Amino acid sequence: MRDNPMVIEYIFSLESGKTLEYSVPFDRTRETKLPKEKYPEWTVLEFQKCSNCPLSSEQHTHCPVAIDAKEIIVAFGEILSFDETDVRVKTPEREYSKHCDAQTGLRSLIGFVMATSSCPVLSSLKGLANYHLPFASLEEVLFRVTSFYLMTQYYVYKEGGQPDLSLDGLKEQFTEIQTVNYDFLQRIRVASQADSSLDVLSTLFSISALISLNLDDYLERLRPSLVYKR
C-alpha cells in the first residue's frame, strides 16, 4: 500500500515547442457549491446535464468532471488530435513515455481525471484508477476492467453474497458510463475550439459502448491468451 497520496503527472512536449504539464492527485476534495462567475458557463451542473446524473443543483452548482477537466480542455482547445507530441507520465511506481498524437495522450489523461472525479456515476472506476495504465490498448482495457470487476465479486462471495460471474453488473455499469461519456461530449463541444478533446470523448464513448454491448464477444478474443484448467 502507498504511504503517500497518489499523484499522476502528465507532461506533453508538442512539436511546436509548447509544453503542457498536469499534476493530478488521486484524491481531490472540492466544495460542492462554487461561485458561478469564476468558472465557464459550460461547467455549471445544469448546462447540458448528463441524463443519468443523480446530483441536484441545490447541492452542487457545477459538474465535478467539468471542473476537474476544465484547464485541460481549455489548454487543448487549439491543438488538433493528429498533432504529434512526446508524452511522459510519472506515477508513484514508474514512468511511461510515448511519442504519439495528441489524442492518444489526452485520452489517457482525461480518462484518469474522469475516473477519479467526484462524479457518482464514474465512481465505479476509481478503484481501477489506483492502478492507472497510460496509453492502454482496447485489449488491455478489457482485461483490466473485467479482472478488477471479478476481484470485487470475489469479495462479494467472501462476505456471503452472490457473486456476479456473468458480468451483467459490469455491463450495466458501462451502460451508465457510456451515457456520461456521450452527454459530457455534448457539454465540451461548447468549450473546445479544436477537435482533440472531442475525439477523446468520442473514443471513450466507443470503448464504454463496446464493454456494455459486446463484452462477451471481445472477451472471446482474449481467451486464447489465457491458460486455465476446466
Mean pLDDT score, 140-146:
92
Contacts of 146 (CB under 8 A, 6+ apart): 167, 170, 215, 219
| pLDDT over 80 at 177, yes or no | yes
**Cell (9 digits) for 66:** 467539468
What per-residue confidence (pLDDT) applies to 144?
93
* Average pLDDT score over the chain: 88
Q: Which parts of 20-125 fold into alpha helices (H)?
A: 64-75, 102-115
The distance in angstroms from the start CA to the end CA of the chain is 34
Mean pLDDT score, 138-146:
91
Give CA–CA dist 203/107, Å, rounded: 8
Who wins on pLDDT, 140 or 230?
Answer: 140
| pLDDT over 60 at 194, yes or no | no
Could you tell me the pTM of the whole model?
0.88
| Angle, vertex CA 140, rays to CA 176 and CA 206, nearest 5 | 40
What per-residue confidence (pLDDT) applies to 3?
58
What per-residue confidence (pLDDT) applies to 10?
97
Give CA–CA dist 108/208, Å, rounded: 14
Mean pLDDT score, 160-188:
92
> Which candidate, 70, 39, 44, 42, places its Cα nearest to that of 55?
44
| Model confidence pLDDT, tens digit, residues 32-42 | 899 988 998 99
Q: Domain residues of the chain, as ranges?
A: 7-225
**Cell (9 digits) for 138:** 482496447
What per-residue confidence (pLDDT) applies to 186?
83
| Model confidence pLDDT, tens digit, residues 90-141 | 999 999 999 998 888 988 998 999 999 999 999 999 999 999 999 998 889 9
Sheet-wide strand order for 7-14: 19-25, 7-14, 84-90, 95-101
Helix 138-158 to helix 196-222 angle, to the nearest 10 degrees?
Answer: 60
Residue recorded with cell 465512481 = 123
What per-residue confidence (pLDDT) applies to 190?
74
